[in-house]
């Protein structure tokens, strides 16, 4: 009887531990984005603790459908893929600047960070996804998230002309972006 009790207790402990580990590895749907590309879905975990204003603004734009159909206008192989410009050439935005929230998160493969002009407080709607590490960007651009699934689809985004600062002719686009909490499973 004691042996059955201990076995049951051990199994219950393992089950609870596995459930807790699964829950810890499952991103918060309110802070997770689904970005659908021509080749598949990219899942981005957002970091509201590192960049609360940026995450809030991105979610607001996503919920408005702002990013749906926008192109990856600047894509540099081995560096990054940039999107979020309604003009498709890197000169536009949503019209609402966001004060910088530079943080200590590093720029490496899969990291999502805000694009900006020379003014450190000029981030708006444009962002980029890193293909590789770029320490020269650390603490110079606001990191707000990271691709946690589907990076192979980001790798498939059409690359730009390396002699034209990554400008892309006939660029790929975002089919749809959604906040995971808004998606019915």
Domains in the chain: boundaries: 29-180
DSSP 8-class letter at 153: H
Is the domain defined by 29-180 classed in CATH 1.25.10.10?
Answer: no
Strand order in the sheet with 127-130: 74-76, 80-83, 127-130, 111-114, 143-149, 40-46, 32-37, 176-179
Each of the 185 residues of the chain gets a pLDDT tens digit; together they read 555 544 444 444 444 444 444 444 668 999 999 999 999 999 999 999 999 999 999 999 999 999 999 999 999 999 999 999 999 999 999 999 999 999 999 999 999 999 999 999 999 999 999 999 999 999 999 999 999 999 999 999 999 999 999 999 999 999 999 999 999 86
Question: Sign of the CA dihedral 86, 87, 88, 93?
Answer: negative
Whether the CB-CB separation of 81 and 115 falls below 8 Å is answered with no
pTM for this structure?
Answer: 0.86
């Amino acid at each position: 009887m004691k042996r059955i009790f201990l076995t049951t207790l051990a199994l219950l402990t393992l089950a609870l531990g596995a459930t807790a580990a699964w829950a810890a590895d499952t991103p918060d749907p309110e802070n997770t984005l689904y970005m659908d590309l021509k080749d598949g879905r990219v899942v981005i975990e957002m970091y509201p603790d590192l960049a609360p204003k940026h995450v809030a603004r991105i979610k607001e734009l996503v919920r408005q459908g702002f990013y749906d159909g926008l192109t990856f206008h600047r894509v540099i192989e081995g560096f990054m893929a940039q999107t979020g410009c309604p003009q498709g050439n890197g000169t536009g935005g949503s019209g609402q600047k966001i004060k910088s929230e530079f943080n200590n998160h590093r720029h490496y493969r899969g990291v999502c960070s805000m694009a900006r002009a020379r003014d450190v407080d000029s981030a708006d709607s444009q962002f980029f996804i890193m293909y590789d590490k770029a320490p020269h960007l650390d603490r110079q651009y606001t990191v707000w998230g990271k691709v946690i699934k589907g990076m192979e689809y980001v790798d498939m985004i059409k690359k730009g002309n390396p002699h034209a600062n990554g400008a892309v002719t006939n660029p790929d686009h975002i089919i749809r972006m959604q906040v995971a909490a808004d998606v019915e499973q």
